[in-house]
Amino acid sequence: MARVGVLTSGGDAPGMNAAIRGVVRCVSAAGSEVIGIRRGFCGLIDCIMNPLGPRDVANILQRGGSILDTSREPRFLDPALRRQAIRTLERERFDALVAIGGNGTQQGARLLQSEWSGSVIGVASTIDNDLGGTDTSIGFDTACNTALEAIDRIRDTANSLDRLFFIEVMGRKAGFIALEVAVGGGAEAVLLPEVELDTDWLVEVIRSNHERGKISCIVVVAEGAHPGGARGLLLEIDESLQAHGLLGSADARVTILGHIQRGGNPTVRDRVLASRLSTAAARAALSNERGLLFGVRGNKAHATPFDEALAEKKEIDHTLLELVNELAG
Ligand code: F6P
């Protein structure tokens, strides 16, 4: 009988609970034991954990957040505290650990794997979708749908009042959410951290929309596309908008969607993805495989060594970017 730990770490993502459930049910069905580690790597350092059986994960599949809580734990970068975490794993007789989370989590998991003899397996989960080794990550679809619903609502009021809206979505370093919802929400323009900002181009897009008689104009701005976010960007182009005879920041509106995108019930896609990846990860942990991140490739669970997954720079799809401009017509 094996002892498998499970933790969620970093920014929570809708579908993490479905993934915890997948690990617990799969490991329990194999006659082994699961221990839930609280608050990510903190729980390993400070030994905060409790056993999880199949009934403990009842009724969590549909819930956002993480029943195990999560944390961004910079202390895990300290080798002395990692040794403390490893002492916990050894004292509590763990055979394997499943770490559910994004880039920071998987970097922590890789470090742990290089220093501990047990099996460390990752599950790709971040709303940002910026993790290598996977086409998409748990939570991304839900975050996009939440943002999209908000954009649709904003379009109603923007149309009624003939207004320019800047809508800021999450993504400090990655524009995947912004790009997806810009296409899905019919945005007039989208700004991403991955693409150099050209404010003259943006003003021209807004001007030409106005000239073509478009009633509303929605610009989707990823959090990291401008140092001051959507608000800073609008202030920067205010003068230029007015110089083109357009109403500037006095009449334009900024909506920052913020953490609303991280919560809520996971979509069916995220529940299925979480179930698929977590069970594949649990099976790998039970087989004592080492240092693998489970993601999805072509609708199938796919394992990539941590080093390879973390070295992969996930690129935005430039054809989608072109679509936004083309369809703004
Ligand atoms: O989890 C990813 C993310 O939501 C990013 O999109 C965002 O930039 C960041 O986390 C916000 O982090 P925090 O909740 O710590 O402010």
Cβ atoms of residues 106 and 309 within 8 Å = yes
pLDDT, one tens digit per residue, over 166-203 is 999 999 999 999 999 999 999 999 999 999 999 999 99
Cβ atoms of residues 11 and 56 within 8 Å = no
pLDDT, one tens digit per residue, over 294-326 is 999 999 999 999 999 999 999 999 999 999 999
pLDDT, one tens digit per residue, over 114-138 is 999 999 999 999 999 999 999 999 9
Q: What is the pLDDT of residue 249?
A: 64
Cβ of 178 closer than 6 Å to ligand 1, yes or no, is: no
Locate the ligand 1 atom nearest the alpha carbon of residue 170 and give its number.
6
User: Which of 74-78, 279-283, 288-292 has the least mean pLDDT?
Assistant: 74-78
Cβ of 168 closer than 6 Å to ligand 1, yes or no, is: no
Q: What is the pLDDT of residue 245?
A: 82
In the set 69, 95, 128, 130, the catalytic residue is 128
Cβ of 131 closer than 6 Å to ligand 1, yes or no, is: no
- Give me ligand 1 centre to Cα 35, in Å: 27
Cβ of 11 closer than 6 Å to ligand 1, yes or no, is: yes
Name the phi and psi angles at 16, rounded to 5.
Answer: -60, -40
- Which residue has the least CA distance to atom 13 on ligand 1? 11
pLDDT, one tens digit per residue, over 237-288 is 999 999 988 876 678 999 999 999 999 999 999 999 999 999 999 999 999 9
**Highest mean pLDDT out of 73-82, 155-164, 177-186:** 177-186
Cβ atoms of residues 175 and 127 within 8 Å = no
Q: What is the pLDDT of residue 215?
A: 86
- Which residue has the least CA distance to atom 14 on ligand 1? 11
- How many CB atoms sit inside 10 A of residue 310's CB? 18
Instruction: For residue 191, give every residue at least 6 positions away whose Cβ sits within 8 Å of its Cβ, in sequence order, or none.
Output: 175, 178, 197, 202, 219, 220, 221, 222, 225, 226, 233
Q: What is the mean pLDDT of the segment spanning 201-208?
A: 95
Q: What is the pLDDT of residue 91?
A: 97
Locate the ligand 1 atom nearest the alpha carbon of residue 261 and give its number.
4
pLDDT, one tens digit per residue, over 215-244 is 899 999 999 999 999 999 999 999 999 998
Percent of the chain with pLDDT over 90: 94
- Cα–Cα distance measured from residue 269 to residue 202, given in angstroms and rounded to the nearest whole number: 34
- Which residue type, as a one-letter code, is found at position 229? G
The residue ranges of DSSP E strands in the chain, in sequence order, are 3-8, 33-37, 49-52, 96-101, 119-124, 164-169, 189-191, 217-222, 253-256, 292-297, 300-305
| Calculated CA dihedral for residues 282, 285, 290, 295, nearest 10 degrees | 0
For residue 211, count CB atoms less than 10 angstroms from its CB and return exposed for 0-12, middle for 13-18, buried for 19 or more. exposed
- Which residue has the least CA distance to atom 15 on ligand 1? 11
- Give me ligand 1 centre to Cα 11, in Å: 6
Q: What is the pLDDT of residue 169?
A: 98
For every residue of 55-68, DSSP letters joined together read GGGTT-TT--S-TT
Cβ of 180 closer than 6 Å to ligand 1, yes or no, is: no
Our answer to whether residue 152 is catalytic in this structure is no
Q: What is the mean pLDDT of the segment spanning 131-160?
A: 97
Q: What is the pLDDT of residue 248?
A: 66
Cβ atoms of residues 86 and 116 within 8 Å = yes
Label residue 20 by pLDDT band (50, 70, 90): very high
- Give me ligand 1 centre to Cα 170, in Å: 7
